A and B are shown apart, each in its own frame.
Chain A
Amino acid sequence: MASNKLFNILVPIISVLLGLIAGAIIMLVSGYNPIAGYTALWNGAFGDLYFMGETVRQITPYILTGLAVAFAFRSGLFNIGAEGQVIVGWLAAVWVGLAIDAPMIIHLPLAVIAAAVAGAIWGFIPGILKAKLGVHEVIVTIMMNYIALYCTNEIIRSVLTDNMDSTEIIPPSASLASEWLQGLTFFSRMHYGILIALFAAVVMWFIMQRTTIGYELKAVGFNQHASKYAGMKVSKNIILSMVIAGAFAGLAGAMEGLGTYGSISVMSGFTNLGFDGIAVALLGANTALGVVLAAILFGVLKVGAINMPTGAEVPTELVDIIIALIIFFVASSYIIRWILLRFKKEGK
């Protein structure tokens, strides 16, 4: 149905607009100037090349964690564990970066793959428990987040360093950072990872739309019993889905470890990249293209928000409220659809 497709595009756009309008109202009510607020936001994201570089840097991991949540969603699994998968991926990437001495052509891919494998293992555990024992994946992924956090901190303190809070910087042979990109953007922390993230989005699209594996994964998401009856191995697909999702999130960790920071530090709390990935996936309707677009929007909002307190004295958290409202409106798409239909009928 053509009109259905139109709705699917219209609903996120309307939701984003409603979210921004609501944000303006909140600024107005709290005594701020919404025009100044949004100008500051815009300048903070696109004001000059430095800010644009930083925006791209923020978009990079968002694409990957968004994919991690979206991919699992397509098979009917809710991956709250992207957070933990990011952390172990980050750790693995930096570990390989520090431990091995090799030319870049071997070293960098090895570090990136290590991150993906670490994330995949972190996804495999909830996957196999769900598939073989029916343990709820939500609860296991929540637990795995904490295990990742505490274990990583311990490894940083006692294995990678001698009771320090932060590791050394990885050698250039494992780094995604690029002097060229940094020079281009007034020394922002933008790095080559964006190419990996976009490639990952293409991979997800290809797996989901063009392969039998993707077809089976989606079928399991729609109806496990029917898939089983059609001869598909439900448990294999559940595990596979979580493993691939975990690998995406692990790559997001590599972006931080090899690109943005070049090291890993003891964390007092979660990175929030994984949790934000949930929002990205939801706004992107769990499709590869949608996730990329949603990641761009959230990256812009998050980086732009940093400029809001200096530019317009608006607290950065306004952006969190706007993001929440956008998700809320997307969730309530039924009512938006209903109102749109109403307008259509009256128009006739």
Chain B
Amino acid sequence: MVDILQSIIPPALFFSAPLIFTALGGVFSERSGVVNIGLEGLMVMGAFVGIVFNLTFADVFGDWTPWLSIIVAMVVSAIFSIIHAVASVSFRADQVVSGVAINFLALGLGVFLTKQWYDKGQTDMVTKPFYTMDIPLLSKVPVIGDIFFQGIYLTSYLAIILAFVAWYVLHKTPFGLRLRAVGEHPAAADTNGINVYKMRYIAVIISGAMGGLGGSVFALTIALNFSHATIVGQGFMSLAAVIFGKWHPLGAMGAALFFGFAQSLSVISAGVPFLEDVPQVFLLIAPYVLTILALAGFVGRSEAPKANGVPYIKGSR
């Protein structure tokens, strides 16, 4: 049993980390009332920047390169997401439309620049990706150590820790209360002296940073290079995790973990006794079918934040 868990849990954490980061970003944005279909594009931007930085500066920064890469990717994606913020907050654009534009723009820019800088459709493989490691001390704990603390990427833990940080920020601080108020009833929040536009800008920029983090972590743990096919749908899966998790940081994390777990099943099925005989296709579609069943069955009606998707116009009723 421990063997089986040991072969399931580390890959599950590995696959879900990028989704957790991005979904947390989605929670911030949507909780402030800005729909973010653009998560996919923000991940593309993060993956692109992460890979390019890593390739360019691997010799300069050595083993610190992957960490610096994800930080730079966060910053660039955060700046990139300002486009979405300007369109959907200041220009009162349809937020879905603007998000779709972000997706097209990120992919177009990423591949365009890749072709210009590297003269081919995809970059080289990075030389300094993240590696798995055993956590000192904790990996020695019997049973638990084997399952949770051996051969794990540090970024997986970072994702789970950040989910709790996001929960604390959103639900336990004045800033979080204001952010949620802006998403539920912007006019009331405005009356109470909260700057609706500023809060929404901040929320979208946070989602940009988190999307960039998710994309770059995906690129530096799973893909290891950048091409048009690096990020294909992970952003949409993260969006699904946001809705599945009912716009709650921990819920989103749970949903992302579930997706990661289901994805890892199809990868490792060959080594697990019950799953060996199941045709591959059932394992491949399992995460998606289960999500639909779960939503239809016990999760029930998903109520978005009240003002989600509605541009706030000062003075309107």
Q: Which residues of A contact B (CB under 8 A)?
A: 26, 30, 78, 80, 125, 129, 133-136, 138-140, 142-147, 150-151, 153-154, 268-270, 275, 278-279, 282, 315, 317-325, 327-328, 330-335
Contact = CB atoms under 8 A, between A and B. Distances in A.
B107 A334 contact: no
A282 B97 contact: yes
B87 A327 contact: no
B104 to A, nearest CB: 4
Interface string B213-250: 00000000000000011001100110110011000000
Contacts of A332: 87, 91, 93, 98
B132 interface: no
Contact of B302 (A26, A136, A154): A136
A136 B295 contact: yes
Q: Which label, helix, strand, loop or mixed, suits the secondary structure of the A interface?
A: helix
B188 interface: no
Contacts of B98: 328, 331-332
A151 B280 CA distance: 10
B228 to A, nearest CB: 8
B87 A328 contact: yes
B105 A150 contact: no
Contact of A269 (B97, B116, B232): B232
22 contacts: A133-B295, A134-B302, A138-B239, A139-B240, A142-B233, A143-B288, A143-B292, A146-B233, A147-B289, A151-B281, A154-B279, A269-B229, A269-B232, A317-B115, A321-B104, A321-B105, A321-B112, A324-B101, A327-B100, A328-B98, A330-B97, A332-B93
B275 interface: no
Given A320-B111, A321-B112, A334-B91, A139 B291 contact: yes
B284 interface: yes
Contacts, number: 141
B96 interface: yes
Contacts of B177: none
Give the top 3 A-B pairs by smallest Cβ distance, nearest first: A320-B108, A324-B104, A324-B105
B109 A140 contact: no
Nearest to A329: B101
B172 interface: no
Contact of B243 (A138, A318, A331): A138
Q: What is the predominant secondary structure among interface residues of chain B facing chain A?
A: helix
Given A78-B96, A150-B284, A317-B111, A328 B101 contact: yes
A325 B105 contact: yes
B285 A318 contact: no
A324 B292 contact: no
A143 B243 CA distance: 12
Nearest to A128: B296
A134 B303 CA distance: 9
Nearest to B281: A154
B285 A150 contact: yes
Interface string B280-311: 11001101110110011000111010000000
Contact of B91 (A144, A147, A269, A335): A335
A324 B300 CA distance: 35
Nearest to B107: A320
Given A135-B296, A282-B97, 12 more contacts: A134-B301, A138-B243, A139-B244, A143-B240, A146-B285, A147-B285, A153-B281, A315-B116, A317-B112, A324-B101, A325-B105, A328-B105
Contacts of B239: 138-139, 142
Contacts of A153: 281
A77 B277 CA distance: 40
A269 B289 CA distance: 19
A341 B112 CA distance: 36
Contacts of B288: 143-144, 146-147
A144 B115 CA distance: 33
User: Which one of A78, A133, A139 has the greatest number of beta carbons of chain B within 10 Å?
Assistant: A139
Contact of B296 (A133, A323, A331): A133
Nearest to B255: A139
Contact of A142 (B112, B115, B240, B281): B240
A129 B295 contact: yes
Contacts of A80: 236
A179 B100 CA distance: 38
B268 interface: no
A150 B262 CA distance: 14
Contacts of A134: 300-302
A327 B97 contact: yes
B93 A315 contact: no
Contact of A279 (B100, B287, B289): B100
Contacts of A135: 292, 295-296, 301-302
A145 B232 CA distance: 12
Contacts of B96: 78
B83 interface: yes
A312 to B, nearest CB: 13
A318 B295 contact: no
Contacts of A333: 93
Contact of A30 (B94, B97, B116, B237): B116
Contacts of A328: 83, 87, 93, 98, 101, 105
A51 to B, nearest CB: 22
A318 B108 contact: yes
